[in-house]
């Protein structure tokens, strides 16, 4: 288990998760979020390749459609 911070809250996750797997555990659609990892924006095309590490600080923004 590793400890990471997501949107300011501490979480314990399995070691070796990539960002797609993390989003699945959080029940978030990878196509509808943006992720900042340790103050750097992660391109969506690399979510499968980026592994979450102990101490990572993630900010996940969920896009919601709507309007007039």
Can you give the CATH number for the domain in which 41 is found? 3.10.20.30
Residues in the chain, overall count: 68
- Whole domain around residue 38: which residue ranges? 2-62
Whether 67 maps to a domain, the answer reads no
Please state the rounded mean pLDDT for residues 16-39.
96
Q: What is the structure's pLDDT at 18? A: 97
In a domain, 45, yes or no: yes
CA distance linking residue 7 with residue 62, whole number of Å: 11
The dihedrals phi and psi of 38, each to the nearest 5 degrees, come to: 50, 50
Is 55 inside a domain boundary?
Answer: yes
- 51: DSSP letter: B
Q: What is the mean pLDDT of residues 27-40?
A: 95
In this structure, is residue 31 part of a structural domain?
Answer: yes
Locate the DSSP E strands across the chain: 2-6, 9-13, 33-37, 40-42, 57-62
pLDDT over 70, % of the chain: 94
Selection from 30, 34, 32, 60 nearest residue 48 by Cα: 30
pTM above 0.75, yes or no: yes
The pLDDT value recorded for residue 9 is: 97
| Number of domains into which the chain is organized | 1
What pLDDT, on the 0 to 100 scale, is given for residue 63? 79
């Amino acid at each position: 288990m590793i400890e990471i911070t997501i949107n300011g809250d501490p979480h314990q996750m399995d070691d070796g998760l990539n960002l797609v797997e993390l989003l699945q555990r959080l029940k978030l659609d990878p196509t509808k979020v943006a992720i900042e990892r340790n103050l750097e924006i992660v391109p969506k095309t690399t979510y499968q390749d980026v592994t979450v590490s102990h101490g990572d600080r993630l900010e996940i923004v969920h896009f919601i459609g709507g309007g007039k």
